Structure 1
Amino acid sequence: MNLLQRRIGGAWFFTMIVLAFVSKIESLTADEKDQMEKGLTAGKEILGYIKDRKFTQTMTILADSASQFLGALGPFVSFVMTFVSGDSAELTYMKEMMKEIDRRFGMVDSKLEDIQALIEWSNFERSLRQIELNVQTMDRIYKNFYEFEGLASDKKRDFSISYESSYDLSGSKLYELAVKESSFTDSLSVAIMKKTKYDRKQTNDYLLGILKIILQGMRIELAYSEMQYGGTFYNSQRKEWERRIVVVSEKFKEIDDTVTKAFLEQSKKDTKKIALDNRPNSMGNLDFSVKVCNKLKEKYYWRDWFCAVWDDDVSSNEFSYTLCGGFFLRWEYGRNILVSSRDKTAPRMNVANAKAELNKFEFILYVGIRYDGTKIIKDFSKANPIFDVINVNNACCIAVIKKHANTYWHKSDYTRLATKDLYYSWWLVIFG
């Protein structure tokens, strides 16, 4: 064999070795493919719930599936960097899944600028605007990394330079702000809850926006760890982010639970504010009852509400009541205000039975009020004798209120309410 033949043979052998190596690194085992597919699917589901503003479902799937999503991020970056001969069908499929995740990221309004204005943080260390800018800038570079063709070394270099020069661990910083409190300041989550005056929907929407940025930051930081270090360091970072996501989920659920339980105290404050802003000389009792009830229905949407209003210049003998999930405000800027509520999931009273109970009352001119065909309530100038005989199972609010007191009410669900107009004297109301 001459020298030329030996050289050609050696080159052919080297080429076969390289192609075999490329073929090996450009393929996935069934387990690896399954892990990545499940992880990216979990990411799509998490972002889908965030996009749809479904807070409870997001927290549930976050606790159940975040580790799968995390487990796919490093292998995805590694898989992208191995290809030197164009995308395989497998990588193309994985990229399409990641693009769908990015599409859902893009449909979520993070509102960090609104949050900063809301909680009135102004110092640079706590600049939410800058955190969001840093994350979104790096997120675009991350997309370029996996979407555009080019040498893996060049894409890795571009990503790393941007990360090291301007990212400033913004995802980790937002995580710290969101969950940690100090002796001087609340955590970001608690500050939002207080500044929204315990508005559950607003609070949850803001928290989901924060979660979106945290997840983007997590993806960026894990990508950098995989590119630069891989192996043991990457695995330690992935485990740290798994721990953080658990903490975020628990903290956000704790905030939601606190907001939910605050409805009684906060709804009373809200009602007092409405009464202050809408005195009787500017709004009648009917419109006022509608305004209060609609406000409570909108803000505390997981409860059904009943609101009754009458003038405050009547004696205590001219009304009697029990209440549940609510309060009574007497002499509140010219009005008496009775509010009750029940959780939407609470058992409902039988409205037909409640109406039948109220129909047992009959007004007889010059005699009094007859109950159940026999009992005569002679002292019908007072509310208590009428109130005391009303008997309905599973009713949580019963009210007897003088009609001449300019009495009106409003309700958020008619299937929980029974009423009776007792001649010219009384309104009888049962809510449950």
Structure 2
Amino acid sequence: MNWKVLAGVLLVLYVTVATTKEIRNTASNIQHGLSLAKEIGDFVVAKNFTNVIGKLATAVTPYLGIIGPCVSFIMGFVAKTETAELKAIKDLSTKVDNRFDRVDSQFDEVKNLIEWVKVQVQYSSAEQRINALNARFENIYTFSTKDVRKTTSAFVNSYDSTYQESGTILYQGIMQGGHVFGGGLFTSVVKHTNYHRGKSQAFMLGLLKLLMKAAKLELTYYQLTHKDVRGNQNQWSTRFSEVRKKMMATDAAIVKEFKTQSGKDIDDLLKNNLKTAMNNNDFNNMIYGYLTEKYSWKDWLTVTYNDITGGNVHYVGECGGYIKFRNHGRNFVAASVDRSKRHINMATARSIVSKVDSCKVTTSYRPHKHNIYSRKDADKAYQTFPSSVRDHCDPYAAQGVISNNGYDVHIKGLPSRMYWRKQEKCNHVFIFG
């Protein structure tokens, strides 16, 4: 046996096996990083702000770390047949980009509120440049392997001629904001939306998507032009950490402003929807819908009725809510609880309300059998709520007694949060928590 030939064959086999194993390990690492980016993208598409914040803490750095190797991996297949590993990476890359490319109508709506194009041309241009270059990037892995050199060359040329540090401009706009947006773009959008948490979160997530694209584009460029990939990766990792902190701080500021801002909103809605133009039922439905949409982390109770006066006809209590008596032709009461709060025990609530002494019913037989209803004054009936309800805010955030005497009373809240007894001849009695 020719031992030299055998040794040569074994060496080739060893190198082949080792190379194959290395390729698979590299592909596996790349797929893991892309999967993490896809998870972030899924949460962004779902507008799950809390999960995005959580995932950013652990997923961004590993994702940034595989962008360079991913580009090199694809470049290694120039004019070669695609392997299963390359195909899997391309498919996953497509899924990631689909999530970060998805158009968000709410993001566009909020941009219009802050006059994205008119007032801050540099930020609008940065967005356009990032999206245009991203289309070039996607060609790298969507075109066939024989076109890789052509697509990467087109990407580099486009980056050199059009990118203009757009990622840095956007990052600085978020963190600093320049002269127009003191405090940054996040702070500006909060003010322009009057502390609308959902819209502000949508805007922050929209900018995060742009930053994710920008980081990917810069790292790809650095890899293709043999620049300091590691330094750029570390820079973006730090940036995302700072942006994440800014997102959390902005969201916390909105929640902190809830009490003040919701009070302003209620005042505006009362002023702009007079009793002469909108009846109590329509107003109560409208304001309930507004509050539950804008302050979506709260469950609400709204009560609207005529602008009656006197404790004998109405008496209500609430914790941390609003009582707006004789306000533009109506009386209005609102209360809220965090959605995470346990719902009230309905059997207990029913028992409490049924024991409120608000109506006495007697039977008369002259001239025929019939019931006589004697309504108890609202303030006196209110005092028959147990002290655990009247004098505490947990588990109940609001309760009340309102005369049912043609005062057009409308009450709205989740059935699992509220129990309402309508005594047609006497009083409305309700409890909420």
Query: CA shift at 1:48, angstroms?
Result: 1.8
Task: Indicate yes or no: 2:360 matched with 1:364.
Answer: yes
What are the equivalent positions in structure 2 for 1:397-412 lying under 5 Å apart? 397-404=398-405, 406-412=407-413
Query: CA shift at 1:180, angstroms?
Result: 2.4
Match of 2:425 in 1: 424
Code of the residue aligned with 2:224 in structure 1: it is M
What are the equivalent positions in structure 2 for 1:16-55 lying under 5 Å apart? 28-55=22-49
Task: Indicate yes or no: 2:215 matched with 1:218.
Answer: yes
What are the equivalent positions in structure 2 for 1:297-316 lying under 5 Å apart? 297-316=292-311
Moved more, 137-146 or 179-188: 179-188
> 1:317-374, CA deviations, whole angstroms, 9 ceiling, x for partnerless residues?
53322212421112211112110111111123222222222222263369xxxxxxxx
Percent identity over the alignment is 26
TM-score by length of 2: 0.83
Match of 1:69 in 2: 63
Query: CA shift at 1:176, angstroms?
Result: 1.6
Match of 2:200 in 1: 203
Computed over aligned residues only, the root mean square deviation of the Cα atoms, in angstroms, reads 3.0
Name stretches of at least 5 consecutive residues in structure 1 with no aligned partner. Answer: 1-19, 367-377
Query: CA shift at 1:388, angstroms?
Result: 1.9
TM-score by length of 1: 0.83
Q: What is the rounded CA distance, in whole Å, between the counterparts of 2:173 and 2:324 in structure 1?
A: 39
Q: Secondary structure at the residue paired with 1:28? A: helix
Contact 2:358 2:375 in 1 (8 A): no
Task: Indicate how the Cα distance of structure 1 residues 26 and 363 shifts in structure 2: closer, same or farther if over 3 A, else same.
Answer: closer
Task: Indicate how the Cα distance of structure 1 residues 110 and 379 shifts in structure 2: closer, same or farther if over 3 A, else same.
Answer: closer
Q: Secondary structure at the residue paired with 1:127? A: helix
Code of the residue aligned with 2:210 in structure 1: it is I
What are the equivalent positions in structure 2 for 1:219-368 lying under 5 Å apart? 219-230=216-227, 233-360=228-355, 361=357, 363-364=359-360
Match of 1:385 in 2: 380
> 1:306-325, CA deviations, whole angstroms, 9 ceiling, x for partnerless residues?
11122224135533222124
Query: CA shift at 1:29, angstroms?
Result: 4.5
Task: Indicate how the Cα distance of structure 1 residues 23 and 165 shifts in structure 2: closer, same or farther if over 3 A, else same.
Answer: farther
Q: What is the rounded CA distance, in whole Å, between the counterparts of 1:43 and 1:329 in structure 2?
A: 48
Matched pairs, number: 400
Query: CA shift at 1:26, angstroms?
Result: 8.9
Contact 2:38 2:99 in 1 (8 A): yes
Moved more, 305-314 or 253-262: 253-262
Moved more, 141-150 or 235-244: 141-150
Name stretches of at least 5 consecutive residues in structure 2 with no aligned partner. Answer: 1-13, 363-373, 390-394
> 1:176-228, CA deviations, whole angstroms, 9 ceiling, x for partnerless residues?
21232457623111111221122222222222211111111110011111112
Code of the residue aligned with 2:158 in structure 1: it is S
Contact 1:110 1:209 in 2 (8 A): no
Task: Indicate yes or no: 2:180 matched with 1:179.
Answer: no
Task: Indicate how the Cα distance of structure 1 residues 122 and 143 shifts in structure 2: closer, same or farther if over 3 A, else same.
Answer: closer
> 1:248-293, CA deviations, whole angstroms, 9 ceiling, x for partnerless residues?
2221122222223333222222222221222111222222222211
Code of the residue aligned with 1:421 in structure 2: it is K
Q: What is the rounded CA distance, in whole Å, between the counterparts of 2:65 and 2:54 in structure 1?
A: 18
Query: CA shift at 1:407, angstroms?
Result: 4.3
Q: What is the rounded CA distance, in whole Å, between the counterparts of 2:92 and 2:376 in structure 1?
A: 73
Match of 1:6 in 2: none
Code of the residue aligned with 1:164 in structure 2: it is D
Q: What is the rounded CA distance, in whole Å, between the counterparts of 2:286 and 2:184 in structure 1?
A: 34
Task: Indicate how the Cα distance of structure 1 residues 282 and 113 shifts in structure 2: closer, same or farther if over 3 A, else same.
Answer: closer
Match of 1:369 in 2: none
Q: Secondary structure at the residue paired with 2:275? A: coil
